Amino acid sequence: ILNVEQSPQSLHVQEGDSTNFTCSFPSSNFYALHWYRWETAKSPEALFVMTLNGDEKKKGRISATLNTKEGYSYLYIKGSQPEDSATYLCASLSTDKLIFGTGTRLQVFP
């Protein structure tokens, strides 16, 4: 059974701080790693889908890296803003289903 873990569970930072979260996943039978941003009462928003070892993806101030050999991914937010406050979920794709971590709840204070 796949187990996806995320750390930390929650994070409180000041506006302007840079931050990063970790997602670890089993490296065997790897297909893809997803990062989602989820605000309450909204649809989880896909940030990145990564498939190749060494992948690095960037969207504005947010970037992610992937290491499939050791089974981890990092999500970085540069210069956090209050609107970045959300829960960040990672999920590993296993056959055709997503196995989620517990999420990291980020709170950015002005």
Residues ≥6 apart with Cβ < 8 Å to 73? 22, 23, 25, 33, 35, 50, 64, 65, 66, 67, 90
Closest contact distance (angstroms) between CB of 72 and another protein is 18
Q: How far is the CB of 95 from another protein (least distance, A)?
A: 7
102 lies in the binding site for another protein (CB under 8 A)? yes
From 23, 47, 91, 106, residue interacting with another protein (rule: CB under 8 A): 91
**Could you tell me which stretch among 15-23, 27-35, 58-66, 76-84 binds another protein (CB under 8 A)?**
27-35
The span from the CA of 98 to the CA of 100, in Å, is 6
For residue 23, state whether it binds another protein (rule: CB under 8 A): no
On the 0-12 / 13-18 / 19+ scale of CB atoms within 10 A, 34 is buried
Query: Applying CB under 8 A, which residues contact another protein?
Result: 4, 31-32, 34, 36, 41-44, 46, 49, 51, 89, 91, 93, 95-103
